[in-house]
Chains A and B, each alone.
Chain A
């Protein structure tokens, strides 16, 4: 039994070579990189329209969020994630998808406990731990300033 198990493990190792990880990483790298290039392009565009650095960065985020929510709505974002994995999920587009996707998916459970609550299924933890971490940074920064 044990030898079978070891044999099986070896077979699994052989059947799932590093090249799969390599290919996934490559696709994530390309798609993620391209989304950032798009962001950089938009940044320049908004700046040329007279936005300050911070404003331009915010407009870029909003534009990418809008695009991701739209793609989620028409069901195309899933295809992108299936292809690019973290390449689509790690940019701000992934955060937007994490809100829009359950909001649409749980519509049938109503607007309070469906759309309203499920919207924060993944975004909730991100906001909770992100803001808590920012508080900690703030506390440290505050006392360093003194």
Chain B
């Protein structure tokens, strides 16, 4: 099995490399960082619906769809990717996807541990610190004759840049994404006060992977691999592939496992209702309601938001809270009924 210790690779090559090696049936560990920032879109995402492509174009940020699931991500040189490519029948590869994640997360968990950051694997595919903040996200795919597992050590993270590349309904929501990411996502720099040298981190990471995978033979990108990456780059950046429509419906932004920001829009007879919710394990943690409908007295809208905080996102929990609120507070909202508010909150009957 080979080790491709590649430092920083230009353009989209830091992602193209594992797609190429898997297709070429090459078992390897790749450790690499992007030389320049880029945006990576999940395989099942609709790039036009999820990413602000105009902003990316203006900011000269390339956008590529990867053959790995998950959401849109901002990638830059402060992240060290680990990419494991194994033949499907490799005995080191557990059959169950959940076990692949658990087993192959261990080197990253131990690497963080060697730098004094206590972390653990949290299903389905996150590595989190002792206080529950995500410090690495992982994914995988069957590509060609191989299985590919990928993840990234976060030396540092540009939260602002990440919030800018996402397509969101308004700037208020973008700010919410930024703040929620700051709360739920951490990095080595934040945990330690400063990021350790890249060389030290990747050396330990490789050592930990060798404990798991066995001896790794150093290798370099040859002409054949370059050719394959070139072919894939043309395919992955083609409009047909990048902008293909997918079944995934955009409802918000997943911050980490169990935490997401949802936005809702509903045109009620009384006007347009917008909602932004921070949801943790299907419970509303924070909520903003706005729009052009009449709500009298106007200040009561803030009280309705408070009333719904802490509620489970189920009709049987939400409906009595809204109805009780209307009865107690004597609020009037012509053309906006309980059902309209529920639709704006994206809470539907089973």
A and B assemble together: no
